[in-house]
Chains A and B, each alone.
Chain A
Amino acid sequence: MTAALEITDVHKSFGKQKVLNGLSLRVEEGEIVGLLGPNGCGKSTVLNIIGQLLLPDAGQISLMGQALHPSNGKARSRVGFCAQRCALYPDLLPAEHLHFFGRLHGLTEKECQQRVAELMRTFSLNAFANTRVGQLSGGWQQRLHLAVALVHQPSVLVLDEPTAAVDVEARMELWRVIRDLRDRGTTVVFTSHHLAEAERLCTTVALMRNGKVAAQGSVAELLLRVPGQAVAKLQSEDHETITQRALLRGWTVRQHAGEMRLLLPHNLGLRDIIEALDGAKLTSLSVQPVGLDDAYLELLREDAM
Chain B
Amino acid sequence: MTSTRLLLNQTWAVAQRLLLEQWRQKRGLVFWAIFPATMMLLFGLVYANNINMRAGLDAAAAGILVGAALFFSCLGGTVAIIAAERERGTLLRLRTTPLRPSAYFFGVVLSQLVLALMQVVMLYSIALLMGVQYHGSLLLGGLILLLSVFSYVGMGFFLGVRFARRSEEVVVALSAIGVPILVLGGTFFPLEIMPQAMQSLAQLNPILHMNQAFKGVAAYGKNFVDLRFELIFLWGFSGLCLGLGIHAFQQLLETDKNA
- A residues within 8 Å of B by Cβ? 14, 51-55, 73, 76-77, 79, 81, 83, 85-92, 96, 100-101, 103-106, 108, 132, 148-149
- The answer on a CB contact under 8 Å between B90 and A89 is yes
Q: Which B residues between 90 and 117 are near A, CB-CB below 8 angstroms?
A: 90, 92-99
- Which of B1, B21, B93 contacts A92 (CB under 8 A)? B21
The residues of B that contact A77 with a CB separation of less than 8 Å are: 98
Q: Which of B6-14, B31-39, B57-65, B184-192 is the interface stretch?
A: B6-14
**Which of B16, B17, B94, B96 neighbours the largest number of chain A CB atoms within 10 Å of its CB?**
B96
Distance from A34 Cβ to chain B, minimum over Cβ atoms (Å): 21
The residues of B that contact A132 with a CB separation of less than 8 Å are: 24
- 9 extra interface residue pairs, beta carbon distance < 8 Å, beyond A101-B93, A106-B98: A54-B259, A83-B89, A85-B89, A91-B21, A92-B17, A101-B97, A104-B13, A105-B98, A106-B6
Q: Which B residues between 241 and 259 are near A, CB-CB below 8 angstroms?
A: 256-259
Residue of A nearest to B107 (CB): A104
How far is A79 from B97 in the complex, measured between Cα atoms in Å?
A: 9
Residue of B nearest to A151 (CB): B97
User: 6 closest A-B pairs (Cβ-Cβ)?
Assistant: A87-B89, A103-B13, A91-B24, A81-B96, A87-B93, A104-B97
Q: Given A81-B96, A88-B88, answer yes or no on A53-B25 (Cβ-Cβ < 8 Å).
A: no
Q: Given A89-B21, A101-B97, answer yes or no on A53-B9 (Cβ-Cβ < 8 Å).
A: no
Q: Given A103-B9, A104-B13, A106-B6, answer yes or no on A53-B89 (Cβ-Cβ < 8 Å).
A: no
- The answer on a CB contact under 8 Å between A104 and B94 is yes
Distance from A97 Cβ to chain B, minimum over Cβ atoms (Å): 9
**Which of A14, A90, A149 neighbours the largest number of chain B CB atoms within 10 Å of its CB?**
A90
The residues of B that contact A108 with a CB separation of less than 8 Å are: 1
Q: List 15 A-B contacts (CB under 8 A).
A: A51-B96, A52-B96, A53-B96, A55-B258, A79-B96, A83-B89, A85-B89, A91-B20, A91-B21, A91-B24, A92-B17, A92-B20, A92-B21, A104-B99, A105-B97
The residues of B that contact A103 with a CB separation of less than 8 Å are: 9-10, 12-13
The residues of A that contact B25 with a CB separation of less than 8 Å are: 91
- The answer on a CB contact under 8 Å between B20 and A73 is no
- The answer on a CB contact under 8 Å between B98 and A76 is yes
- The answer on a CB contact under 8 Å between B13 and A100 is yes
Distance from A297 Cβ to chain B, minimum over Cβ atoms (Å): 33
Q: Given A53-B96, A89-B17, answer yes or no on A106-B257 (Cβ-Cβ < 8 Å).
A: no
Q: Given A52-B96, A106-B6, A132-B24, answer yes or no on A88-B257 (Cβ-Cβ < 8 Å).
A: no
How far is A96 from B20 in the complex, measured between Cα atoms in Å?
A: 10
Distance from B99 Cβ to chain A, minimum over Cβ atoms (Å): 5
The residues of B that contact A91 with a CB separation of less than 8 Å are: 20-21, 24-25
Distance from A145 Cβ to chain B, minimum over Cβ atoms (Å): 9
Q: Given A106-B1, A106-B9, answer yes or no on A53-B95 (Cβ-Cβ < 8 Å).
A: yes
Interface size on B, residues (CB 8 A): 27
Residue of A nearest to B93 (CB): A87
The residues of B that contact A79 with a CB separation of less than 8 Å are: 96
How far is A51 from B17 in the complex, measured between Cα atoms in Å?
A: 24
The residues of A that contact B21 with a CB separation of less than 8 Å are: 89, 91-92
- The answer on a CB contact under 8 Å between B93 and A148 is yes
Distance from A9 Cβ to chain B, minimum over Cβ atoms (Å): 19
How far is A146 from B200 in the complex, measured between Cα atoms in Å?
A: 57
How far is A110 from B1 in the complex, measured between Cα atoms in Å?
A: 13
Residue of A nearest to B84 (CB): A89
How far is A101 from B97 in the complex, measured between Cα atoms in Å?
A: 8
How far is A104 from B107 in the complex, measured between Cα atoms in Å?
A: 12
The residues of B that contact A105 with a CB separation of less than 8 Å are: 97-98
Distance from A149 Cβ to chain B, minimum over Cβ atoms (Å): 8
Residue of A nearest to B89 (CB): A87
- The answer on a CB contact under 8 Å between A53 and B257 is yes
Distance from B115 Cβ to chain A, minimum over Cβ atoms (Å): 16
**Which of B1, B97, B98, B99 neighbours the largest number of chain A CB atoms within 10 Å of its CB?**
B97
The residues of B that contact A88 with a CB separation of less than 8 Å are: 88, 90
- Which of A52, A54, A83, A96 contacts B93 (CB under 8 A)? A83
- The answer on a CB contact under 8 Å between A53 and B256 is yes
Distance from A18 Cβ to chain B, minimum over Cβ atoms (Å): 15
How far is A55 from B13 in the complex, measured between Cα atoms in Å?
A: 27
Distance from B228 Cβ to chain A, minimum over Cβ atoms (Å): 41
How far is A284 from B116 in the complex, measured between Cα atoms in Å?
A: 72
Residue of B nearest to A111 (CB): B1
The residues of B that contact A73 with a CB separation of less than 8 Å are: 98
The residues of B that contact A83 with a CB separation of less than 8 Å are: 89, 92-93, 96
How far is A88 from B256 in the complex, measured between Cα atoms in Å?
A: 20
The residues of A that contact B16 with a CB separation of less than 8 Å are: 100
How far is A218 from B47 in the complex, measured between Cα atoms in Å?
A: 81
How far is A52 from B97 in the complex, measured between Cα atoms in Å?
A: 9
Distance from A13 Cβ to chain B, minimum over Cβ atoms (Å): 11
How far is A127 from B74 in the complex, measured between Cα atoms in Å?
A: 37
